[in-house]
Amino acid sequence: MKARTLITGVGMATPHGIGVADSWAATRAGKNAIGRITRFDPSPYPSRLAGEIRDFDPRDHLPDRLVRQTDRSSQLALTAAAHAFEDAGVRPADVPEYGGGVVTAAGFGGIEFGQNELRNLWSRGSRYVSVYQSFAWFHAATSGQISVRHELRGHAGVLVGDQAGGLDALAQARRRIRRGSRLIVSGGVDASLCSWGWAAHLATGQISAGEHPERSYLPFDRAADGHVPGEGGALLILEDERAAIERGADNVYCEIAGYASTFDPRPGDGREPGLRRAIELALADAALGPWEIDLVFADAAATARMDREEAEALIAVFGAFAVPVTAPKTAIGRLCGGGAPVDVVMAALAIREGLIPPTVHVEPSPEYDIDLVTTHPRPASVRTALVIARGHGGFNSAMVVRAVD
Amino acid sequence: MSQQEFTLQDLKRILLDGAGADESVDLDGDILDTDFEQLGYESLALLETGGRIEREYGVELHDEIFTDNPTPRALVAAVNAQLGRMASA
């Protein structure tokens, strides 16, 4: 039997706050964190809302030397990773030299750092480009910086898979643990709220042009018309069960019990989208039947086609109105590589607290036969949860987490 | 044309702007004869520092400047020597 992969520590940096306590309290309460963009002037653009992390000064959390050489996404990730280690109570001596690693997801890499240095290059000349541009914009920069800071000399990697990448990273971490790593820091953070990043978002054609913060990101609602991007994400400490027991880990949240990913067929060729199969394969990987899943965190893309596909896949697997579905991301926006790791942390907290966080702002459309938990948190005994994440261009990933006795 | 002078204060300002300071190091202490490496500056930080000195003072520093001058005292002298050569050229 394969050893279990446990979540033994979590850290978050989201528009709801830096730190798990703030983020969870605001998520439970359904507090809105979407607003007009302040990080750059959004007025020339057709979409102007985002979930921004306000009041984050990296110098409050990180050494000065590190701040100079890192993009905002890496700064947020380094902060969340440090919180996750603290939450897990891991001491450096608990991890043998090559026994610890890091796998993160990054959709945008260090795009704001890169934008600033490209601006220096073209407006002032090559002598004004920071030497740290040599790596700070890399998608892998965050994994590299976490590995250096926490002396994780084992496996390191990064996955790029848009909104689905966060689950793929956690799955890769589990794979490494099954191959012998004791501990992997995993998850993802994106911070793309600069004009270059915004241009990339707009190019997908899936960004809401709404002006009202509470009526612009509306998955499974008749008014659904694209999503609102946000920034941030989560880092989790994943440990081999035996290693966790050996070091006396005392903050186990749950286990990563199942995972699968699929790719959609070419659009328009009439074949079924890949999401249903991703869910079924993840359940099979967890050796759980659909009736054993207590809660679903939806991808909640908020376009008519994507919402319909997701609702149809859920109904095909679980039946109509058969399982509670939620998407707390409606309060903070879609965080790209950081989105699914935040949902996995929310799932872990839902299991621990017996509470389903709500999908705020949404008036469910009667055309979807799903039990969407809206407006208020719902008390429930949650032993298992399914997290769904879909990336632009046809990536589908699904992960099952399960309570550990 | 009078020669510009490059001082320890200028070096500290440029180090801080470009690379920041290591938490365990007090740049206001007696650092003149401490190696940059011991002050927490690795090769990239020194490359950034050299680039900033070059563009602020309009001076060309050779590639081995930090290898040949591994302490603040030696670097300040080397930069001033280069500034002197430019002023008399």
Q: How many CB atoms lie within 10 A of CB A115?
A: 18
- The answer to whether A340 and A300 have CB atoms below 8 angstroms apart is no
Chain A positions touching B47 (Cβ under 8 A) are 131
Interchain contact, A63 vs B44, CB within 8 Å = no
Q: Is the CB of B44 less than 8 angstroms away from the CB of A127?
A: no
- Look at the block and give the residue holding tokens 């913060």: A213
Spatial separation of the C-alpha atoms in residues A129 and A120, rounded to whole Å? 6
The packing angle between helices B43-57 and B72-88, to 10°, is 30
SS3 content of chain A, % helix, strand, coil (to 5): 40, 25, 40
- Do B20 and A128 count as a contact with CB atoms less than 8 A apart? no
Q: How far is B2 from chain A (nearest CA, A)?
A: 25
CB distance B55–A68 less than 8 Å? no
**Considering only alpha carbons, which residue of chain A is nearest residue B44?**
A131
Distance from CA of A67 to the nearest CA of B (A): 8
Residue of chain A whose Cα is closest to the Cα of B15: A65
Asked if A59 reaches chain B (Cβ–Cβ under 8 Å), the answer is no
**CA nearest to A348, candidates A385, A323, A374:** A385
Taking only the tens place, the pLDDT of each residue in B34-54 is: 999 999 999 999 999 999 999
The answer to whether A38 faces chain B, any CB pair under 8 Å, is no
Whether the Cβ atoms of residue A86 and residue A12 lie closer than 8 Å to each other: no
Which domains are assigned to chain A? 5-247 (3.40.47.10), 258-402 (3.40.47.10)
- The answer on pLDDT for B1 being more than 60 is no
Distance CA A35, CA A363 (A): 20
Chain B hits for A130, CB-CB cut-off 8 Å, are: 18, 48
| Tokens 């991808």 belong to residue | A299
**In contact, A397 and A167? CB cutoff 8 Å:** yes
Residue A283: in which H helix or E strand, if any? Answer: helix A275-286
Instruction: Give residue-wise pLDDT tens across range B3-36.
Output: 789 999 999 999 999 999 888 888 888 999 999 9
DSSP A34-77: EEE--SS--TTSS--EEE---S--GGGTS-HHHHHT--HHHHHH
Longest dimension (CA), chain A: 62
* Partner B contacted by A134 (CB < 8 A): yes
Inter-chain residue contact B21 with A132, CB threshold 8 Å: no
Are the Cβ atoms of B48 and A67 closer than 8 angstroms? Answer: no
The Cα–Cα gap between A183 and A77 comes to: 17
Number of H helices and E strands in chain A, helices first, is 12, 16
Q: What is the ipTM score, two decimals?
A: 0.88
Task: Give buried/exposed letters for A379-392 (b at 16+ CB in 10 A, else e).
Answer: eeebbbbbbbbbbb
User: Among A67, A128, A131, whose Cβ lies nearest the Cβ of B20?
Assistant: A67
Contact by Cβ (8 Å): A183, A99: yes
CA distance A121 to chain B (A): 13
CA-based nearest distance A65→chain B, Å: 5
pLDDT in tens, chain A (405 residues): 578 999 999 999 999 999 999 999 999 999 999 999 999 999 999 999 999 999 999 999 999 999 999 999 999 999 999 999 999 999 878 899 899 999 999 999 999 999 999 999 999 999 999 999 999 999 999 999 999 999 999 999 999 999 999 999 999 999 999 999 999 999 999 999 999 999 999 999 999 999 999 999 999 999 999 999 999 999 999 999 999 999 999 999 999 999 999 999 998 888 999 999 999 999 999 999 999 999 999 999 999 999 999 999 999 999 999 999 999 999 999 999 999 999 999 999 999 999 999 999 999 999 999 999 999 999 999 999 999 999 999 999 999 999 998
**B76 — pLDDT class (breaks 50, 70, 90):** very high
| Cross-chain CB nearest to B44 (options A64, A127, A131) | A131
- What is the spatial distance between Cα A230 and Cα A349, in angstroms, rounded to a whole number? 21
Nearest to A193 by CA among A17, A65, A327, A334: A334
Residue A75: count of CB within 10 angstroms of its CB: 25
Question: Does B58 lie at the interface with A, CB-CB under 8 angstroms?
Answer: no
DSSP label of A230: B
Question: In terms of Cα–Cα distance, which of A20, A53, A21, A56 is closest to A34?
Answer: A53
Structure tokens at A145: 């910086």
Provide the terminal-to-terminal Cα distance of chain B, rounded to the nearest Å: 10
How close, in Å, is residue A103 to chain B by CA atoms?
25
E strand or H helix that includes residue A387 = strand A384-391
Strand partners, A254: A7
The alpha carbon of residue A130 is apart from the nearest alpha carbon of chain B, in Å, by 7
Nearest to A65 among B19, B51, B54 (CB): B19
Q: Taking Cα atoms as reference points, which of A238, A97, A76 lies closest to residue A173?
A: A238
Give the domains, in start order, of chain B with CATH numbers.
8-21+30-88 (1.10.1200.10)
Q: Which helix (H) or strand (E) holds A100?
A: strand A100-105
Residue A131: closest CA among B54, B60, B4: B54
- Residues of A within 8 A of B55 (CB-CB) are 127-128
Quote the CA–CA distance of A66 and A58 in Å, as a whole number.
Answer: 9
Closest residue to B20, CB basis, from A64, A127, A131: A64
